[in-house]
Amino acid sequence: MADVSLQGVSKLFGGIAAVSDVSLEISDGEFVVLLGPTGAGKTTTLRLVAGLEKPERGSVMIDGKDMTHAAPSQRDVSFVFQQYSLYPHLSVRENLAFPLKSPAHNLSADQIKARVEHVAELVQIDHKLENRSTALSGGEMQRVAIGRALVRDPSIFLMDEPLSSLDAKLRGDLRIELKRIQKELGSTLLYVTHDQIEAMTMADRIGILNEGELLQLGTPREIYEDPVNVHVAARLGQPGINLLPLEALQITSAPTGAVTLGLRTEHLEVLKGAALNDGSTMEAKATLDRVEYLGDQNRLHMSLGEHKLITLGDGQIEYDTSAGEALLLRARDALFFDHNGDRVR
């Protein structure tokens, strides 16, 4: 495999920057996930690496070589598209073998057979090798699509939301498998998704992409615990971070320049009943508007004056929403942001 480097890459469509001055180094054997909403520039970034788009500015290096102007066929990348397509008239075995049949590979029939069977085992489709690809479930088809990328030994794998069309259970299973396979093969993998769980669970490093810009790049823990701005902070965490004006809680110890307070569920302690504000600086009285009981947890929807908050509470506790139950909120280790939304410490 190889390392990949984007240096100041921009791609415009009709004057709009789909990708804007993105610099990104992916090490050999690293699993990098770009996370962003629809329209963030994820697919365009992958297409730039694959050579399916040419950047207006910047360069794309693969394995130390400048590939900015190289054709896709010269780049040695393997792409799994969002809308996967198998050859319906071919069996699973023939679909998996297809990328190896090009004369460029110059492999014997035995070598192809061995490679296909190895990959079929990796993606756990070996029991269906002789099936028509149309006689498979959605999850099985997606395994074949991923397997078809894996049979080759390219410089880098590019995957565009490959699990997004699957149901939740299968997505959960396949993301664990994909991570296992990537580790086993030592693959360099650039994966894009709008799903924060996929990013958190699979990535060595996550890049947060927003309106074509790479806002932050770091380990899942760095991105979650130490976001550079409100966009990054809001991208991870379920329920999402609560962003409130500083005045919403009586805070005396905020850093200079802070105007917004960011409270994740683990920053908030919810005290029920007649607990009194003991004068500590990070407390406020809230009203419970709604409870979603999830068994192990309660998802608490609260009002703090005119502001709304959502946090998780203990599933064992019963709440009374009919009367707009009064709660005491106690916050610690909050995040602070300035008027531009940038983090202040």
Q: Counting contacts by CB under 6 A, is residue 147 touching ligand ADP?
A: no
- Which one of ligand ADP, Mg ion, none is in contact with 322 (Cβ closer than 5 to 8 A by kind)? none
Calculate the CA 127 to chain-centre distance: 31
Residue span binding Mg ion (CB under 5 A) among the ranges 8-16, 38-46, 116-124, 131-139: 38-46
Contact call for residues 50 and 75 (beta carbons, < 8 A): yes
Calculate the CA 109 to chain-centre distance: 38
Residue 192 CB, shortest distance to ligand ADP, in Å, is 7
Residue 158 CB, shortest distance to ligand ADP, in Å, is 12
How many Cβ atoms sit within 10 Å of the Cβ of residue 72?
Answer: 14
Q: Counting contacts by CB under 5 A, is residue 43 touching Mg ion?
A: yes
Which residues, in sequence order, are bridge partners of residue 242? 263
Residue 129 CB, shortest distance to Mg ion, in Å, is 31
Contact call for residues 133 and 92 (beta carbons, < 8 A): yes
Q: Counting contacts by CB under 6 A, is residue 41 touching ligand ADP?
A: yes
* Per-residue mark of binding to ligand ADP, 223-262 (x: CB under 6 A): ----------------------------------------
Q: Counting contacts by CB under 6 A, is residue 18 touching ligand ADP?
A: yes
DSSP annotation string for 86-106: --TTSBHHHHHHGGG-STTT-
Kindly state the tokens that stand for 33.
Answer: 């996930």
Residue number, nearest CB to Mg ion: 43
Q: Counting contacts by CB under 6 A, is residue 162 touching ligand ADP?
A: no
Q: Counting contacts by CB under 6 A, is residue 40 touching ligand ADP?
A: yes
Burial class (CB in 10 A: 0-12, 13-18, 19+), 164: middle
Contact call for residues 93 and 130 (beta carbons, < 8 A): yes
Question: Interface with Mg ion by CB under 5 A: which residues?
Answer: 42-43
Q: Which residues contact ligand ADP (rule: CB under 6 A)?
A: 13, 18, 36, 38-44
